[in-house]
Amino acid sequence: MNIELQICGLAMLIIFFIFIEHDRKLNVKNRLLFITAFVICIICLIFDIASIVCIHEAVYNGFSPILTKIVCKIYIMLLVTQGYCGYLYGCFDIVVQFKYKAIRIFAVLLYIIGEILIIVLPIEYYMNGRIVYSYGPANLCTYALAIFYISSTLYLSLKHRRDISHRRLVALFTWQGLWLVAALIQFFSKETLLVGFAAAVGMIVLYSQLENPNEHIDRFTGLFTQNALSLFLQDKYKYQVPFAFYTAKIKYLAPFTELDIKNDAVMRSARAFLELGNEPVFRINDDMFCIIYDSGDRAYDKLLEIKARADGVTGMPVEAKFIYCPDGTLLSGVEDVFNFIHCYEDSAEDIVVCDQELIERMLHRRKIYNLIETALKDDRIRVYYQPIYNVKKNRFTSAEALVRIENQDGTLVYPGDFIPIAEENGQIITLGMKIFEKVCELLAGGELQKLGIENVEVNVSAAQFDHENPAGFVSEYIDEYNLDPANINLEITETADNDLKHLLLLNMEKLIRLGVTFSLDDFGTGRSNLDYFVSMPAKNVKFDLGFTQGYFTNSKIRDVMKGMVSIAHDMDMKIVSEGVETKEQYDEMVRLGVDHIQGYYFSRPIPEQEFIEFLKDSDNTRNI
């Protein structure tokens, strides 16, 4: 009998099915459709073989013609079902996403009507040697339906080729193409029964190209990967299925943790998550996991359970940090989920709970991130200068460089809105270099120096310094613009992080040797204290504007400032008072013995050209 190819196909599919059943499954809609199509393909092959056996027996051994026709009909009905499943698998999300309601209804109706027609229409069969086939109106009906489903699948996937991956397009075309070619060959060469085998090969193509879950499995832990999470969540949002989740991050307490310990911690956590329940567990980066639940309550219970286990671990320098989201629909999509996780993964709290407020903060940070990126790209970073008055020399000898971002409509964004975020997300490095370069450009022109400016004060964050290249960008730009390092004064603030402080000191020493000077900024705020005053090799101390203004309202602040002025002078440091707005404040600061005065009393921060005009207008060269 002519059934060798079908048996091969069937054996192949059954072997693969065993593999598929053993895989760790991710229940996304496409996968369910795939499994359905796969199972139908197996049943179809069984009936393909059965129909040939029946025809053979009917022709040669008097087997019941009615039963033979029924088996033949079931076979062609399954063929149609297979076509329908293929269409669903290939186009379901396109049809849903682009709301092809008419096509959707038409496809279902056609399927039902087609199957009924096959049942009622007559079928004949024929066998002679190796040539076996059935024919008649029921078969014609099958051909028509198959052509409809194959062409709709090909048409829709081609039309939306930009919305689906290239890989999927190729796999779908290979699959449907195999069908088509096999059917044509079989049509012209009736003894080559290829269709069943081609369908089986097509299924294997789909499995290896699109549905192979091993691609979504992390090799080390056997958990799902971040890509898998992305797919899984896409499905949740697309079909509006509610979900909750939490992430757990292993935080290593020692500054350098050996790889063995890390691997052990990851492996133990992975096992613990799997023991927790049946929900899918994803490893979304080296030391972070995410588990998706149907309900917020269950997610929270499980989070507490795993937290209790983590807290109970002894002898390992690690702790666990969690982000808990009771309702995934609070976030607007997959990208937001990842942004949220990324934004809060390093928070100090043990459990960050995703609520409207945190989401808004995250969106704000995202907005600022984009603002800085586009401003850098479009060259909309502006540096303003605020003159600093030298009491002894009775003129402006310095200026503070203060950054702004110019919006496309010309309005300004002030640093308080973006510097803290840039410090957190690392953009401060590129941004700080840009600001510094602009200052160097201005100084390289030499005009400021001619107008009596001895140095420009530039704010720097400790995060801008690099371990590998101490003094890094500062000395590079000084060289590039051929500047006198004494023209540069860097303003630094206190940092709570000891590593950063160490890094800062290392850089300061190197730069001071070059001739750069430093100011301690914001003295008198929480960002600055006495320890920092004593330990930093700075030339100036800047009284914060709140401190300066407090002088006039608070007698304790007044006493502290008096004391500070004399301590600073004993230590050979100069005092700069910020935020001086009135003549009275100015007079009082001079009486206190402050060396430099900065504030709206003289000028607000102004653009470069205006600053040059300001110096000219104030006859700044008079005492040089």
Q: Is the distance from CB of 292 to CB of 341 less than 8 angstroms?
A: no
DSSP code string of 249-300: EEEE-SSS--HHHHHHHHHHHHHHHHHH-SS-EEEEETTEEEEEESSHHHHH
Residue 419's binding partner among ligand C2E, Ca ion, none (Cβ under 5 to 8 angstroms by kind) is ligand C2E
Min CB(416)–ligand C2E separation in Å: 5
Residue 491 Cβ vs ligand C2E, minimum distance, rounded to whole Å: 6
520 binds ligand C2E (CB under 6 A): no
Binding Ca ion (rule: CB under 5 A), the pick from 115, 494, 522, 595 is 522
CA distance 222 to 212: 14
Angle (nearest 5°) at CA 563 between 557 and 565: 100
- Pairing between β-strand 395-406 and β-strand 455-459 as defined by DSSP bridges: parallel
Minimum CB separation of residue 397 from ligand C2E in Å reads: 17
For 248, 266, 276, 569, the CA distances from 272, given in Å and listed in that order, are: 12, 10, 6, 61
- Output the smallest distance, CB 350 to ligand C2E, in A: 31
Angstrom distance (rounded) from CA 598 to CA 578: 5
Instruction: Please report, as a single letter, which amino acid is at residue 185.
Output: I
Q: How far is the CB of 452 from ligand C2E (least distance, A)?
A: 20
Q: Which of 138, 599, 611, 615 binds ligand C2E (CB under 6 A)?
A: 599
Q: Which residues contact 450 (CB under 8 A, 6 or more apart)?
A: 621
- The binder of ligand C2E chosen from 246, 605, 608, 615 (CB under 6 A): 605
Residue 463 touching ligand C2E (CB under 6 A): no
Reported in sequence order, the residue ranges of 407-561 that DSSP labels E, i.e. its strands, are 412-413, 455-459, 488-492, 517-523, 540-543
Question: What residues form DSSP beta bridges with 541?
Answer: 520, 575
Residue 456 in contact with ligand C2E, rule: CB under 6 A: no
Give which of Ca ion, ligand C2E, none residue 600 binds (C-beta under 5 to 8 Å, depending on kind): ligand C2E
Closer Cβ to ligand C2E, 354 or 422, answer by number: 422
Q: How far is the CB of 487 from ligand C2E (least distance, A)?
A: 16
Q: Which helix (H) or strand (E) holds 387?
A: strand 381-390
* Residues paired with residue 406 on neighbouring β-strands, in sequence order: 412
Residue 279 or 423: the one with the smaller Cβ distance to ligand C2E is 423
Please say which residue, 193 or 439, places its beta carbon nearer to ligand C2E.
439
* Least Cβ distance, residue 504 to ligand C2E (angstroms): 13
Name the nearest CA neighbour of 460 among 491, 485, 489. 491
Q: Per-residue string for binding with Ca ion, 425-464, x by CB under 5 A?
A: ----------------------------------x-----
> Contact with Ca ion (CB under 5 A): which of 48, 93, 287, 521?
521
Structure token digits, residue 122: 């007559």
Site membership for ligand C2E, residue 416 (CB under 6 A): yes
| Site track for ligand C2E across 376-415, x = CB under 6 A | ----------x--------------xxx----------xx
Residues that bind Ca ion (CB under 5 A): 459, 491, 521-522
Residues near ligand C2E, by CB under 6 A: 386, 401-403, 414-416, 419, 432, 435, 459-461, 521-522, 545, 578-581, 598-600, 605
